[in-house]
């Protein structure tokens, strides 16, 4: 056997200190301390940097970053020293972290975090930006983790030269595909246009600061399309985007938006051990003695819920039905509740849409639903039909029929007609428990209308207005006696009539069953 003699290879000595110094210098260039000029500009606007939001959102030292050293695909037109400072991370910070570990433990608190960085090319989406986004969304899908995304940015980027960015992108389908699979929360502050706005709108829950402008195109694209010249602040201001339902929750600033994102995420993470609640004996005091009077039902919600646990979704859209999250004995619930101070509690098309969407959200993530009912029924009339009432109100019925999460229904006062049926998932017998406060009243339609329609001939036969009023009130009182909660319970229309002070206990007993 012939042995092959090999020549000894000369040693290659690496200057380890130099290599490490280069690494640290490169790393510093991705952080705020290495980018003082763009960060100062950001602060001058009163905004936080992307990494400041990141640090506030995530548990300390829990963030595992992906693609930190990426730069924009513009090496053919710009020096690398320029790119590594001015296009740090290619304008998007992505990774895994834990959020709310102090409440739920490390395993339950894991999440994917995506933060668009407006200090990099106005937060626009380039080649490596999309690659990083796709990688993060793939992790969310594979690991079935919730996602919190800060969406600020100007949309697509035309200036990348190293690679062609085609329309064969997967980012948007991957992000939209997560809806209903894992909780997705989008946060915005500042300008959010085009592709960034599309990402924002696809989220399950959208949070925006008062300093937000959100639109499917920015000024340049609008002008380029021959549709006029507009200032950035003309496009999708927060006042517009809350009234039309685009923004679910309005925050004061980025710090407040981050706190809200943590709170909203917590409802999908599970129950908390420690809780307090207001004095439940105050609930009955919040219901007026005169059945014709309105009242502030949000006071009932916040009294019923664990202290500081209620957060409302879309308060300025679909106002007839309040939707939101709360906790009872630490357990998270979705809540839908009629607001008698808006259209007398009647459910219009917008309210139907917002409630249907919310029921679907609760259903997707197995959140139990608490329905607080006080409605005279669906809104009717020509204007309601112009708004598409038939379709949109039916969508609420469909959402209720498909609800697999347990629903507990509490009738606070009025439970009339199809509207009340829709509030209980399509039937009073559908919830795992349907109970009423003693103030509850029931019927196929509002009592006053039922008297007017059912006894029209008798009322018209009276000789004077005084006689008509006497007869009307007599008929109304008789109908109320037949439809009041304690009578309805004898016919098993509902499962029980309860002391309002026992509402929390009843809800938890029903959920336990």
- pLDDT, tens digit (0-9, with 9 covering 90-100), for 300-315: 999 999 999 999 999 9
The yes-or-no verdict on residue 291 having pLDDT over 90 is: no
Strands 64-66 and 92-98: antiparallel
In percent, the amount of the chain with pLDDT more than 70 equals 96
- Please give the pLDDT value at position 378: 93
Q: What angle do CA 204, 174, 74 make, to 5 degrees?
A: 115
441 or 2, which is more confident? 441
In percent, the amount of the chain with pLDDT more than 90 equals 73
- pLDDT, tens digit (0-9, with 9 covering 90-100), for 130-150: 999 999 999 999 999 999 999
Residue corresponding to tokens 């009955």:
284
Of the ranges 190-204, 237-251, 462-476, 487-501, which one carries the lowest mean pLDDT score? 462-476
Q: Please state whether the predicted TM-score (pTM) of the whole model is above 0.85.
A: yes
- Please give the pLDDT value at position 28: 87
- pLDDT, tens digit (0-9, with 9 covering 90-100), for 2-36: 666 667 777 777 788 888 888 888 888 889 999 99
- Please give the pLDDT value at position 167: 67
The yes-or-no verdict on residue 166 having pLDDT over 60 is: yes
- Please give the pLDDT value at position 248: 98
The count of other CB atoms within 10 Å of the CB of residue 20 is: 10
Average pLDDT, the chain: 92
The yes-or-no verdict on residue 452 having pLDDT over 80 is: no
DSSP letter string over 225-270? TTS----GGGSSBHHHHHHTTS-SEEESSHHHHHHHHHHHHHHHH-
The yes-or-no verdict on residue 278 having pLDDT over 80 is: yes
493 or 459, which is more confident? 493
Q: How far is CA 439 from CA 185, 448, 490, 503, in A?
A: 38, 17, 15, 14
Query: Residue 425 — left, alpha, or beta (φ > 0 → left; ψ -120 to 50 → alpha)?
Result: left
Q: Cα separation of 358 and 248, whole Å?
A: 11
444 or 203, which is more confident? 203
DSSP letter string over 418-448? HHHHHHTTTSTTSSSEEEE-TT-EEESS-HH
> How far is C-alpha 154 from the chain's CA centre?
23
Residue 78 confidence class, pLDDT cut points 50, 70, 90: confident
The yes-or-no verdict on residue 178 having pLDDT over 60 is: yes
Of the ranges 93-107, 343-357, 470-484, which one carries the lowest mean pLDDT score? 470-484
Domains of the chain, with CATH numbers?
23-267 (3.90.226.10), 273-440+484-512 (3.90.226.10)
Kindly tell me the number of DSSP H helices and DSSP E strands found in the chain. Answer: 21, 15
- pLDDT, tens digit (0-9, with 9 covering 90-100), for 378-388: 988 898 899 99
* DSSP symbol at 176: H
> Mean per-residue pLDDT for 312-337?
97
- Please give the pLDDT value at position 165: 58
The yes-or-no verdict on residue 453 having pLDDT over 90 is: no
Q: Cα separation of 136 and 112, whole Å?
A: 7
- Please give the pLDDT value at position 75: 83
427-432: which pairs have CB atoms within 8 A and are 24 or more residues apart? 428/493, 428/494, 430/400, 431/371, 431/406, 431/407, 432/406, 432/407, 432/408, 432/510, 432/511, 432/513
The yes-or-no verdict on residue 394 having pLDDT over 70 is: yes
- Please give the pLDDT value at position 6: 67
- Please give the pLDDT value at position 2: 61
Q: What angle do CA 216, 217, 222 make, to 5 degrees?
A: 140
> Among 371, 312, 393, which residue's Cα sits nearest to residue 510?
371
238 or 218, which is more confident? 238
């Amino acid at each position: 056997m012939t042995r092959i003699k090999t020549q000894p290879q000369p040693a290659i000595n690496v200057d380890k200190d130099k290599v490490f110094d280069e690494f640290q210098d490169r790393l510093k260039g991705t952080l705020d301390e290495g980018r003082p000029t763009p960060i100062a500009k950001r602060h001058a606007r009163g905004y936080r940097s992307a990494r400041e939001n990141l640090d506030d959102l995530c548990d300390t030292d829990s963030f595992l970053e992906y693609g930190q050293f990426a730069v924009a695909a513009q090496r053919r037109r710009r020096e690398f020293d320029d790119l590594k400072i001015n296009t740090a991370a290619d304008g998007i910070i992505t990774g895994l972290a834990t959020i709310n570990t102090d409440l739920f433990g490390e395993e339950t608190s894991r999440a994917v975090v995506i933060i668009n960085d407006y200090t990099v090319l106005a937060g626009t989406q380039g080649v490596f930006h999309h690659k990083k986004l796709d990688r993060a969304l793939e992790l969310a899908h594979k690991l079935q983790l919730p996602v919190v995304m800060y969406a600020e940015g100007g949309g697509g980027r035309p200036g990348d030269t190293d690679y062609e960015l085609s329309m064969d992108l997967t980012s948007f389908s991957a992000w939209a595909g997560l809806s209903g699979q894992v909780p997705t929360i989008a946060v915005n502050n500042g300008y959010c246009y085009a592709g960034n706005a599309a990402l924002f709108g696809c989220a399950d829950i959208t949070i925006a600061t008062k300093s937000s402008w959100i639109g499917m195109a920015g000024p340049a694209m609008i002008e380029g399309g021959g549709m006029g010249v507009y200032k950035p602040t003309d496009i999708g201001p927060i006042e517009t985007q809350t009234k039309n339902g685009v923004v679910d929750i309005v925050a004061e600033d980025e710090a407040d938006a981050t706190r809200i994102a943590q709170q909203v995420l917590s409802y999908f993470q599970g129950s908390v051990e420690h809780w307090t609640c207001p004095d439940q004996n105050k609930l009955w005091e919040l219901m007026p003695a005169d059945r014709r009077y309105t009242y502030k039902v949000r006071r009932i919600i916040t009294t019923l819920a664990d202290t500081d646990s209620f957060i409302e979704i879309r308060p300025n859209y679909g106002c007839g039905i309040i939707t939101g999250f709360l906790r009872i004995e630490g357990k998270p619930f979705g809540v839908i509740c009629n607001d008698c101070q808006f259209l007398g509690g009647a459910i219009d098309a917008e309210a139907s849409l917002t409630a249907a969407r919310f029921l679907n959200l609760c259903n997707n993530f197995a959140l139990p639903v608490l329905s607080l009912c006080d409605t005279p029924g669906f809104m009717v009339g020509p204007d309601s039909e112009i708004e598409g009432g038939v379709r949109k109100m039916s969508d609420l019925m469909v959402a209720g029929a498909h609800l697999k999460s347990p629903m507990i229904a509490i009738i606070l006062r009025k439970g009339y007609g199809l509207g009340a049926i829709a509030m209980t998932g399509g039937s009073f017998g559908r919830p795992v428990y349907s109970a009423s406060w003693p103030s509850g009243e029931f019927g196929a339609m509002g009592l006053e209308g039922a008297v007017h329609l059912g006894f029209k001939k008798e009322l018209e036969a009276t000789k004077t207005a005084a006689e008509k009023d006497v007869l009307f009130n007599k008929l109304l009182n008789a109908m109320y006696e037949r439809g009041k909660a304690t009578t309805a319970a004898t016919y098993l229309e509902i499962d029980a009539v309860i002391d309002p002070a026992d509402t929390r206990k009843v809800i938890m007993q029903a959920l336990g069953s």
